[in-house]
Amino acid sequence: MKTGKLKKFDAAEHLTTPEARAEYLSIVLADGDPAEVRDALNIVARAQGMSEVARAAGVTREGLYKTLGETGNPEFATILKVIGALGIRLSAHAVDAK
C-alpha cells in the first residue's frame, strides 16, 4: 500500500464561481462569528484572486492579507470595500424573534 502526504484542503480552490463564493459568505454571515467572517472573506478573496480584490478595494495586496489574516481586525469600512470588490452585495433579513 502506497502512503503519501495528503494535500491540505483549501476551500478557495472549490469556490470557482461568483455564486459559490456568495453562497459561502452568506452561510458564514448567518452564523455571525466575526472571526469566521474574516476567515471566509480571506478564502473568497483568495478564490477570486487576492491581487485583483486588493486593487478593486483600493488596498495593497500585503495589507489585504494582513487585514484578513488570523490576527487581523478589519474595520467595517474595509470589510465593505472588500465585499464590494468581490462583486457581492450585503443584505439584511428579519430574524424570527422567539
User: How many CB atoms lie under 10 A from the CB of residue 2?
Assistant: 3
* Grid cell of 76 as nine digits: 467595517
DSSP 12: G
Q: Check if the beta carbon of residue 64 is closer than 8 Å to that of residue 45.
A: yes
Domain ranges of the chain: 16-85
* Residue 80 to residues 58, 91, 97, 98, Cα–Cα distance (Å): 12, 12, 27, 30
**For 6-63, how does the pLDDT look when each residue is reduced to its tens digit (9 = 90+)?**
889 999 999 999 999 999 999 999 998 999 999 999 999 999 999 999 999 999 999 9
pLDDT on residue 96: 80
Q: Check if the beta carbon of residue 45 is closer than 8 Å to that of residue 81.
A: no
